[in-house]
C-alpha cells in the first residue's frame, strides 16, 4: 500500500517544575533554599529516512507525545530532561498545518527539523533568594510543550517524471534506464504507486527518475489513480511524456498528448509549463509511415517539443533518451524547495490553541495581563534582544492583547505588567 498524505497529532513534553526545598544538615544553620530546576521537555523532531518512499508507517500510529521533563529536587539537583521523539519521514515530505494548509517546513531542505519544542523547566526556589527574601517558599512551574496537528504530504524528489496514459510503457522504460525494478504487466494500472530509479550517466553522475502511475482523462478531477499521484510531479524539473506510437490499445498518440496536457493544466497551470520531451515508445511494432504517425509528428512540431523514438522492448534508442534528458536537465533551474508559509507569529498562536484565554485587571496603578499561553510564551523571549522584543510585540498584537487593553480603558503612558515584565503602553 502506498500512502503519501496523512494527518498526525504531535505534542512536545512539558517542562518539569522547580523544587521548593531547603538545605538541612547537622551543624549547618540557615542552610538556605536549594531547590533544583525542572528538566526540559522532549522535542518532536522530524528526520529524513533515505530508505523509505511512503508514509505507510503512519497508517496505524498517528499520535506522538514526547517525554516530560522531571521535576527538580533538593540539593540543587536538576530534573532529568525529557527524551525527544524522532519521527522519520521520506525526503521530500512537506509538513503542513492541518487547519490552514500552510507549509510549515519542507523536509527537502535538511535532514532534521524540530517541529515542536519541549517546555522549559521551572526554576527552583534557590533562584529567588535575595538579601531581603532569604526563605522563598515558591518556585517556578515548567512551561507546556508545544502541541499541534499537522498533515504530512509526500512530494518525491525525482528530477525527471515519466507521465502518460496507462500501459504505454513508462515502467518498462524506467526499468531499462535505471536500477528500478517495478512490476510490469500488459494491463492497465499495473503500477499502483510511483517508482523511483537512479539513472546513471557515467563518471559518478546521474539523476533520479520517477514513473508517475495512473494518468487518465479526468485525473485532475479525481478519476483513476492520477489525481493521487500528480503531486509527485510537482518537483520534477523535466517531464518525459510517454506515448504509444504503435497505438496498440487503439489510442491516437496525438490525442493522448493533448489530453494529458489538459490534465496537467487543470491540476496546476505552472506544471503545464514544465519542459517536456515526448517519448514515442513501441517503435518496434509501429508503422512509421502511417497517417497516425504523420499526424503525431505534426502535432509535436506545433508544440515545439523534442521527440525521441524508443522501444523499451528492444532497448532501441534508450541511451539517446538518457543523453537528451541529461542535456536538457543541465539547462534547467534546480529542484523546487518550498518555502515556509507559516510565520513565527502563526506558530505561537497555533501552539496555544485552546489555551488562549487572556485576562486583564487594573489595580489602580497598572494593568496586569495574564493567561496560560502568555506564561508559556514568555519563556521563549529574550527581553534583552531588540528583534525578540519586536516579535513579542507582534504576537501580542496579533493575539488581540492590545485590543483587549484598549477595551479596558488603558491610556497612553499607562504601565502594563505581564508576569513581572513591565512596559509603558503607546498607541
pLDDT tops 80 at residue 64: yes
> Which CATH number does the domain housing residue 366 bear?
3.30.300.350
Residue 297 is placed in which grid cell? 509528428
Please say if the pLDDT value at position 67 is more than 90: yes
Q: Which residue, of 120, 153, 186, is where some domain finishes?
A: 153
Give the model's pLDDT for residue 22. Answer: 92
Question: In this structure, are 324 and 351 located in the same domain?
Answer: no
- Indicate the residue among 329, 354, 381 that finishes a domain: 329
- DSSP track, 115-127: EEPPPPPPPPGGG
Same domain flag for 41 and 6: yes
Q: Are 147 and 172 contained in the same domain?
A: no
Is 334 inside a domain boundary?
A: no
Residues 123 and 240 in one domain: no
pLDDT band at 115 (very low <50, low <70, confident <90, very high): very high
Closest CA to 326 of 163, 198, 232: 198
Same-domain check for residues 316 and 214: yes
Mean pLDDT within 314-332: 92
Listed range (144-148, 219-223, 357-361) with the worst mean pLDDT? 219-223
Round to whole Å and give the CA distance between 339 and 105. 7
Q: Which of 153, 183, 207 represents a domain boundary (last residue)?
A: 153
State the CATH number of the domain containing residue 6: 2.70.210.12
Asked if 225 and 367 sit in the same domain, the reply is: no
Q: Please indicate, yes or no, if residue 200 is contained in any of the structural domains.
A: yes
Does residue 237 contact residue 275 with C-beta atoms inside 8 Å?
A: yes
Whether 45 and 189 share a structural domain? no
Identify whether 339 is part of a domain.
no
Phi-psi region of 391 (alpha: psi -120 to 50; beta: other; left: phi over 0): alpha
Total domains in the chain come to 3
Three-class SS state of 101: coil
Residue 336 domain-assigned? no
338 located within any domain: no
How much of the chain exceeds pLDDT 70, in percent?
87
Look at residue 395 and tell me if it is in a domain: yes
Task: Specify whether 256 is located in the same domain as 357.
Answer: no
- For residues 325 and 363, membership in a common domain is answered with no
pLDDT in tens, 224-241: 444 566 677 778 899 999
Q: Is residue 407 part of a domain?
A: yes
The DSSP line for 12-40 is: PPPPPPPP--B--BTTB-S--B-PPPPPP
Question: For 174-222, how does the pLDDT look when each residue is reduced to its tens digit (9 = 90+)?
Answer: 888 887 565 544 544 444 567 777 888 877 678 888 887 756 555 445 4
Q: What CATH number does the domain containing 320 carry?
A: 3.40.50.300
Range of the domain at 22: 1-153
**CA 256 – CA 169 distance, rounded (Å):** 14
* 81 and 207 housed in the same domain: no
**Least confident stretch, 58-62, 117-121, 395-399:** 395-399
Residues 167 and 275 in one domain: yes
Q: Do 172 and 287 share a domain, yes or no? A: yes
Is 96 within a domain? yes
Amino acid at each position: 500500500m502506498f500512502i503519501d498524505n496523512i494527518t498526525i497529532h504531535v505534542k512536545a513534553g512539558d517542562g518539569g517544575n522547580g523544587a521548593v526545598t531547603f538545605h538541612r544538615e547537622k551543624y549547618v544553620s540557615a542552610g538556605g533554599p536549594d531547590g533544583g530546576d525542572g528538566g526540559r521537555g522532549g522535542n518532536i523532531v522530524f528526520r529524513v529516512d533515505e530508505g523509505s518512499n511512503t508514509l505507510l508507517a503512519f497508517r496505524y500510529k498517528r499520535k506522538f507525545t514526547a517525554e516530560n521533563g522531571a521535576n527538580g529536587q533538593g540539593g540543587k539537583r536538576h530534573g532529568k530532561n525529557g527524551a525527544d521523539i524522532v519521527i522519520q519521514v521520506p525526503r521530500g515530505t512537506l509538513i503542513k498545518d492541518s487547519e490552514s494548509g500552510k507549509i510549515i517546513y519542507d523536509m527537502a531542505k535538511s535532514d532534521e527539523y524540530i517541529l515542536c519544542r519541549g517546555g522549559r523547566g521551572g526554576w527552583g526556589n534557590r533562584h529567588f533568594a535575595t538579601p531581603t527574601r532569604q526563605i522563598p517558599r515558591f518556585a517556578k512551574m515548567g512551561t507546556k510543550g508545544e502541541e499541534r496537528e499537522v498533515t504530512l504530504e509526500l512530494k518525491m524528489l525525482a528530477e525527471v517524471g515519466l507521465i502518460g496514459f496507462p500501459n504505454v510503457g513508462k515502467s518498462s522504460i524506467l526499468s531499462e534506464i535505471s536500477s528500478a525494478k517495478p512490476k510490469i504487466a500488459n494491463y492497465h494500472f499495473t503500477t499502483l504507486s510511483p517508482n523511483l530509479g537512479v539513472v546513471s550517466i557515467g563518471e559518478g553522475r546521474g539523476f533520479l527518475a520517477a514513473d508517475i502511475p495512473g494518468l487518465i482523462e479526468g485525473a485532475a478531477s479525481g478519476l483513476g489513480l492520477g489525481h493521487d499521484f500528480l503531486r509527485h510531479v510537482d518537483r520534477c524539473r523535466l517531464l518525459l511524456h510517454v506515448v504509444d506510437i504503435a497505438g496498440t490499445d487503439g489510442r491516437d498518440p496525438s490525442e493522448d498528448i493533448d489530453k494529458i496536457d489538459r490534465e496537467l493544466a487543470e491540476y496546476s497551470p505552472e506544471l503545464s509549463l514544465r519542459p517536456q520531451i515526448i517519448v514515442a515508445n513501441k517503435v518496434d511494432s509501429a508503422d512509421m509511415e502511417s497517417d497516425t504517425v504523420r499526424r503525431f509528428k505534426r502535432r509535436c512540431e506545433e508544440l515545439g517539443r523534442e521527440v525521441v523514438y524508443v522501444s523499451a522492448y528492444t532497448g532501441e534508442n534508450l541511451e539517446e533518451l538518457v543523453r537528451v534528458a541529461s542535456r536538457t536537465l543541465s539547462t534547467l533551474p534546480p529542484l523546487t524547495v518550498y518555502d515556509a508559509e507559516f510565520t513565527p507569529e502563526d506558530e505561537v498562536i497555533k501552539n496555544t490553541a485552546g489555551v488562549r484565554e487572556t485576562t486583564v485587571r487594573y489595580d489602580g496603578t497598572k494593568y496586569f495581563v495574564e493567561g496560560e499561553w502568555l506564561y508559556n510564551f514568555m519563556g521563549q523571549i529574550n527581553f534583552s534582544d531588540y528583534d525578540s522584543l519586536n516579535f513579542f510585540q507582534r504576537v501580542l498584537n496579533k493575539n488581540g492583547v492590545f485590543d483587549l487593553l484598549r477595551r479596558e480603558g488603558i491610556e497612553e503612558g499607562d504601565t502594563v505588567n505581564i508576569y513581572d515584565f513591565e512596559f509603558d503602553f503607546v498607541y
